Structures are given as C-alpha cells and as structure tokens.
Structure 1
Amino acid sequence: MKLTVWGAAQQVTGSMHLLQTQNYTILIDCGLDYEKGTFQDENLNFPFNPEDIDVVILTHAHIDHSGNLPTLIRMGYKGQILCTAPTAELAEILMLDSVNLFLNKQNKKHKWQKHKSTPKPLYLQKHVIDTTERFVTLNFNKPFKINAHIELTFIPVGHLLGAAAVSLKITEDGVEKKIAFTGDIGRKNYPVLNDPQPLPQVDYLICEATYGGRLHSANDTLDHKLTEVIKETCIKNPGRLIIPAFSIGRTQSLIFKLNQIFSKGLLPRVKVFVDSPLAHLATDIYRKYADMTSEEARAFYKENGDNYDFENLTFLYTQKESLSAINYLDPCIIISSAGMLEGGRIQDHLYYNIQNYYCTILFIGYCAKGTLGDRLLRGDPIVRLRGRDLMVYAGIQKTDLLSGHADHDGLMEVIRNQKSLKRLFFVHGDLSSINALEKSATDEGYTVSIPKRGECFEL
C-alpha cells in the first residue's frame, strides 16, 4: 500500500491524499490550494490521471478539502464521492459559490484589464452539478464495504457540521492494515457542534497540524468576550461592530451564541445584520440537521424554537439590502464574509468603516499571512481598498474562542489515544506548527514523518 501526499503538505490548504492498494486507488479530499502564486496551474494540473481514481472520500465541506472536486470530474474522474449527508449539501453550495467567485474575478479583470489575458474559471456550474450527482452519503460510525478488501468508517470530529475523520481497514495478501485521516479536528465545547470522538486504533495516522504549537485562550469565555466587545462598541458608544466570519460553520455558531446572550438578557437586543447569501443557505442546512448538533444546541432549540433566529436579526440577500446595512445609522453588529477579508461583501463594510473611530472589527478566525485580515491584525496603519489608501482608525480586536480547530493539546490528545501507531504523518499546517507537533510526538515515542508535496510512502 502506498500513500502519496499531493496537497496540504507543509501548508494549510489544498488537502489531497492518494492511497494506492494492489488494485484500487483512493483519493481522500480534493481541495483548492490557495497558497501558491500560480493559483490556476496548481489547481488545474493534477499530478495523477483523474481517470485512474476508483473512489473519492471527502472528510468535510470546506473548500480547501472539497473545492477542486468539479475540476477532478471535468478532467475525467467517473467514480463516486463518499461523504456524510451534511457534507454533501454544504459542499454543493460552497462549490457553487466558488463558481461565482471565479466569474466575478474574471469579469472584474475583463472590465479593468482588457489588455491582459484572463484565465478561464477552473469549472462552471454544470461541473458542480456533475459533482453533486456523484455524492453517496454515509452515516457516522457505520462501517461501509467499499469492496471486498476495503472498509470505511466515518468518525465525527466536530469542526463543521458533517465533518468526519476517515478510518480505513485494508486487507492485502491476507494482512489487515488500518489507516486513518483526521481531516480537520474540531475543539471541545464548540457552539452548536458535538465534541470530536476518539479515533479507533490504527497503524498509520495522517493528522492535521493547523494549530500545532498554539493553545487556545483559557482565561476567558466566548460569552464574556462577545458581551464585553458589544457593550463597549454598541452600547457605551454609538458604534458598529463588524465581524468577518466564514459563511459556513463560523457564522452559524456565532449567531447561536448571540441568540443565547440576548435570550439570557445579558445585553439589550442590538440590531444584527448577517450580510451573506451563502450563510443563509448554510443556516437552513444547519436547521435541517439539527439532530446532529450538540446537546446544548438541541436543548436550546426545544426551548426557543430556532437556534438561528431572534428579534433584531436580519439576513441580507441582495446588494441593495447590503447597502441598507451600510446606511444604517444606529449601533449595530454586522457579520459578513469572507473571514480573512479577501473579497466578499465584508470589503464594502470595511471601505465605509475602516476610518470610523466608533467602529470595531472583531476577528474570530485564522487569517493567513499576507491577507488583508492579517495586515490589519499586525497593525498596518494604512490599507488599500478599491484603489484607495485608507487610514485605519477603527479598533481591531481578535479572539480565538470561535476557532474551529483543536489546538496543540487537543491534537496531542488525539495522537495519545493511539496505542500501537507504526507511523504518524503531519499535514495541513505550516512548517512551524508541524515542527512543534513533531517535537511533542517524538518526545513521547511516536515515529513521525513530515511529507513533502508528492512524497510517496510504503505502508
């Protein structure tokens, strides 16, 4: 059996792992790679023949894990895509949104840079439809026979609705080998989601490393942090709180937490705008699969009727409605995407508020190096928006209390649960994060490999 890591090797995005047995080839995840300068080339040119893949297994819907599936199918893949039911529905709306982003970028370049060549979109809506027709959904913790020699089980890991670790039992020459891919591991006590379940015992573990070397805040609670920021920005002062948030997962957890805060009477019901059509679609999916959410979320639903709706909450759909939030003069909270500020309606809100002393921008997630969000977090006094250099007068705050990833200790807990691991592989993290985890794991006696892109391992 051979493992080749073709994505998220010593970086965070582009998860894609090829597992080859004697007569069967499995691709685990097929995500978009956002970390190379040649975005088009990195995602269009697969390092293998898509027609040679027998089955694809998808851990969860986030675009760095699912986003290049339509390209894979466009290039000749003809098999099934195995995932959970929420993952299938969330991945569909995310991939369709990617089509819109590709086309918007193309139209903007065509409008302003007609003299330059414009790369074609990676895929179109018809390719997304072709992809969704390949989804075969499986339940958590129910072994599924892919063929006579390969058994798959999805293990719930939090992080996102429907997110799963992949556990495989593979028999070759009468010998059973067990291998698991964590996908992205969630953290405990996360709003709406269940805690990650322990993985079964395996011989080989491919583990994410996003928060290696970092610990989540332990001296504060999300309720307290949100309450204090809202009180300071919107109640003591007549300001507005802008929260950049990924439309799927982060936004639903944030809405639920605000619902709890207002329901408890901890704060007056400040006006809340959710400016993201994608978030509205995702929220309906979260409602549909309410039985797969946490005990806390289910109990709140029984008492209040809807986890994602409350007085003074408004979802905005059209650009005209979005403009109404920009022109809203009273104190308010605006939740909008994208979380790293690289495109999306959030840029409109930034453009009109970055120089507003009464505005606070609260970051609730990771911002990759070089993104607009990263530049604001590191304290750049001037940022460029819509061709203008704007002074940063708005307050900038951050919290990791809504981070959807397990921290260093959480990842080590997953690893320590493995009692007879032959080899541990770290992926989906920058090299500093991976090195921090490697040190902890090797100190505890684990054999660790840090794959480079395209590196092949005999298992």
Structure 2
Amino acid sequence: MKLTFWGAAQQVTGSMHLLEIGHYKILIDCGLDYEKETYQEENQQFPFDPASINLVILTHAHIDHSGNLPTLVRMGFEGQVLCTPPTADLTSILLFDSVELFLRKAGRKPRTKRGNFSGPKPLYLHKHVMDTIDRFVTIAFNKPFKINGDISLTFVPVGHLLGAAAAVLTINDEGIEKKIAFTGDIGRENYPVLVNPEPLPEVDYVVSEATYGGRVHTKDQTLEERLVQEITEACIKSPGRLIIPAFSIGRTQSLVFALNQIFTKKLLPPIQIFVDSPMAIQATEVYRKHHNLVSQEAKDFYQTMGDEFDFEHLAYVQTMKESKDVSNYFDPCIIISSAGMLEGGRIQDHLYYNIQNYYCTILFIGYCAKGTLGYKLLSGAPIVRIKDREMMVYATIRQTDLLSGHGDHNDLVKAIKQTGQPKKVFLVHGEDKSLQSLSLALQEDGFNVEVPERGAVFEL
C-alpha cells in the first residue's frame, strides 16, 4: 500500500492525496491550490494520469478540497466520487460558481470570436461540472461501504461544514488488515448549526489537517458576546455599517443562526441585516433539506422559534439591482457577503464603496490564505487594490476566531489521540508554523509524525 501527497503538503490549499492498494488507485480530495497568483495555470496539470484513478473520496465541499474535480474529469477520470449527501449538494453549488468566476477572469471575447479569451483560460466549464456531478455516489454517515472485496469506507462526522466527514478506510493489503483515516477538516464543538466532531476509531495511519496547529481559539468571550460588542460599536454607538465577509456555504448559515438568537433574545435593538449572496441562498436551502443532520441546538430552536435562517429585519439579496440598493442604504446595517477571503463575489462591491468610509467596520470571521485581499487587509495594508483601483484603507478592520470552522490546536491533538497509537501521523493542510507546532506537540506525546513535502511517497 502506497500513499503519495500531491496537495496541501506544507501549505493550506489544494488537498489531494493518492492511495494505491496494488493496482487500485484512490484519490482523497481533489482541491484547488490557489496560493499562487497563477493558480489557474498551476491546476491545469496533474502529476499522474487522471484516467488511471479508479475512485475519488471527497471529505467535504469546500473548494480547496473539491474545486479541481471537474478538471480531473475533463482530463479523463471516469470513476465515481464518494461523499455524503450534503457534500454532493453543496459541492454542486460551489463548482458551478467556480465556472462563473473562471469565465469572469477569462474575459470572454465577443461571440464572433467564440472560445477565445483575453484572460487565463477557464480550468473547466459548466459541461465538466455536470459530468462531475453525474459521478457522485452518496453514502450516509457511519455506514460502512464496501468499495471492493478488499476495501471498505466509513464516513465519520467531523463538524466543520454540513456533510463534512473523516474518511476511514479498512483495507485488506495482501492478507493484512490496515486502517487509515483522512480527517479532512476537523470542526469544533458547540459551533452554531453543526454537530460536534465524533471520535475517530483506532487506526494504523492518520492523515490530519493542521490549520490551527499551535493556536488556541479565544476562550474568554462567547460568540454571542463578541457579536453584540461588534454590532454595538459599529451600528449603535455610531451610525455606521458592519460588513462581514463570510463564505456563502457554511459560515453564513452559522452566522445567521447566531444573529437570529441574539435578536430573538432582544439583546440589541432591531437592525437591518442583508445577506448579499445568491449562493448563500442556495446553500441555506441545502441546510433546510438536510435538517436532520444539523445540531440538536438548531433542531430545538426550530421546534420552539421557527426557521433558524429567517427572522424579522433579515433580507436575502438575490439580484444585482437589489445588491446596489444595499450600497445605497444609509441607515445602520449589517451586510453579510461572500467571498470570505474577498477574492471575488459581491463583497468586492461593498468594499469598493466602503473601504474609505470611516464609519464602516469590516469584521473577518474566518481564515484568509496568503496572497488574498483579506490577508492583506488583516496584515494592516494601508492601500489595497479593489476592482483595478488603488484605495486607501480608512474602514476599521477587525477579526474574531469565534466563528472559525476549524478546530484549534487542542481539538486537533484530541482527535488524533482518539485514534490510539497509529504507526504514523501525517500532517497536512497548514502553514509551516502550524505544522511544526502540532508536530512537536504530538511527538512529545509519543506519536511518530511526518510532515510530508509535495510528491512525497510512503509505503504503508
């Protein structure tokens, strides 16, 4: 049995791991690597023949885990993609959105020159996304699925996002049973809307994310307290606006539920809230569809107070005209818009009109990869480029980790300890400092840890 690390190795994005059992090849995740400015070109080629892959296992929908699946299909992959039902639904939304982003960046020329582009050629088109969706086969949580006579798969809930799972493979390798767990992204306990991560079984090998290695989430303040504080400062003490960049899928639904709880308890006077993201509207419908998989807290709220994702003074913005109307809304308000790292989406319009507004606060609630506009703002850049224009930053920039969908250092250590005493723990999906911090902590606890480089091959 052989394991090769082709993505998210000593970096955060582009998760992609190749497991070979004899001649059978399984790809675990196939994400976009977007940490370089030329990421579309970087993702055009695979370090293996896509047609040689027998199966893909998708841990969850986020684009750094799913975003290059259509390229894989376009280049010859003909197998199935195994995932949970919510992951299939959410991934479909994200992949179609990716096509639109590629086409905007490509700058399609007039129909008289059909197929020509002034910018980078799209990685894939709608047809390739539809071909990819046709390959999805959904599997319920905690139900062992026999891939073939030698391999079975179990999805274990890990929080992080609706449908997110650790993939646990039980393998008969030439008469010897071996177990390997791929954690995907591990969530945290008591996160709005999502279930707590379930314990992983004892395994022989673990491939774990390390996003928050060496970092511990804020403990001295609750999410409710922090949101009340930020809204009070931005919208009540001064007649300003609070702009919250949030991923349309996952983060927005959890934030809306948290705000619903705050205003239901009347902890603040009514304030207009806009969710400016058509994709968030689609994703919210997926959350409603799979309501049996949300947290017990969310289910209880639904039974007593009604829909977690709909309340007075909350407006979902669909059309561009409605979005422009939000920009012209001058009373204090909260604007939730995507994308979370500010790389595209309607959030750029809101930033364009508010980045030089002294009465505007921009509150980041998630991770921003290096090189993104969000990262630059969080790093204190006094001037940023938005929509091809250099702009001074006068708005207040704030950040909280209380809505981070990733477990922190202690959560990661806990999850890995649940797997018993594996022969080796591989750490991926993290910046160098995080990888080294988590590696050191695990080694002190007696674990055999490896932080693989891209292309590193291991015989298991």
Instruction: Provide TM-score, normalisation by structure 2.
Output: 0.97
Residues 18-417 of structure 1 mapped to structure 2, 5 A cutoff: 18-107=18-107, 118-417=119-418
Q: Provide the C-alpha distance between the structure 2 equivalents of 1:420 and 1:346, rounded to a whole number of angstroms.
A: 45
- Equivalent position of 1:15 in the other structure: 15
Matched with 1:445 is 446
TM-score (norm 1): 0.97
Runs of 4+ in structure 1 displaced over 4 angstroms?
Answer: none
Structure 2 residue matching 1:91: 3-state secondary structure: helix
In structure 1, C-alpha distance between the alignment counterparts of 2:442 and 2:448, rounded to whole Å? 8
Partner in structure 1 of residue 113 of structure 2: none
Are the equivalent residues in 2 in contact too, given 1:243–1:336 (CA < 8 A)? yes
Contact 1:2 1:20 in 2 (8 A): yes
Deviation, structure 1 residue 173: 1.7
Give distance in 1, aligned partners of 2:158 and 2:430. Answer: 18
CA deviations on 1:47-94 (whole Å, 9 max, x unpaired) are 111111111110000000011111111111111110000000000000
- Do the aligned partners of 1:109 and 1:118 also contact (CA within 8 Å) in 2? no
Q: How big is the shift at 1:109?
A: 9.2
Distance change in 2, residues 1:331/1:108 (3 Å): farther
> d(CA) in 2 for partners of 1:243 and 1:375?
16
Q: Please report how far the alpha carbon of residue 391 of structure 1 lies from its aligned counterpart in structure 2 after TM superposition.
A: 2.2
Query: Structure 1 unaligned runs (5+)?
Result: none
TM-fit CA distance, 1:386: 2.9
How far is 1:168 from its partner?
A: 0.4
Matched to 1:406, the amino acid is G
Q: For the residues of structure 1 that align with 2:251 and 2:201, how far apart are their CA atoms?
A: 28
Q: Distance in 2 between matches of 1:372 and 1:47?
A: 29
**Does the 8 Å CA contact 1:165/1:183 hold for their aligned counterparts?**
yes
CA contact (8 A) 2:184 2:209 kept: yes
**Contact between 2:421 and 2:447, CA under 8 Å: does it hold in 1?**
no
Q: For residue 6 of structure 2, what is the aligned residue in structure 1? A: 6
Q: Which amino acid aligns with 2:58?
A: L
Deviation, 1:221, is 0.6
CA contact (8 A) 1:357 1:394 kept: yes
For residues 181 and 376 of structure 2, the distance between their equivalents in structure 1, rounded to whole angstroms, comes to: 36
Helix, strand or coil: the match of 2:309? coil
Say what the alpha-carbon RMSD is for the aligned residues.
Answer: 1.5
1:133-176, Cα deviation, whole Å (9 max, x unpaired): 11100000010100010010000000000000000000022110
Percentage of identical aligned residues: 65
Q: Aligned equivalents of 2:387 and 2:308: distance in 1?
A: 36
- Counterpart Cα distance in 2 of 1:273 and 1:20: 48
Count matched residues.
Answer: 456
Take 1:122 and 1:440, find their aligned partners in 2: how far apart are those partners? 39
Partners of 2:35 and 2:370 within 8 A in 1: no
Letter in 2 for 1:51: A
Partners of 1:381 and 1:101 lie apart in 2 by 27
Deviations 1:284-331 (A, max 9, x none): 001111110001000001112201001111111111110000000111
Deviation at 1:382, TM superposition (A): 2.1
Deviation at 1:387, TM superposition (A): 3.3
Give the secondary-structure state (helix, strand or coil) at the position aligned to 1:44.
coil
Gap runs ≥5 in structure 2: 111-115
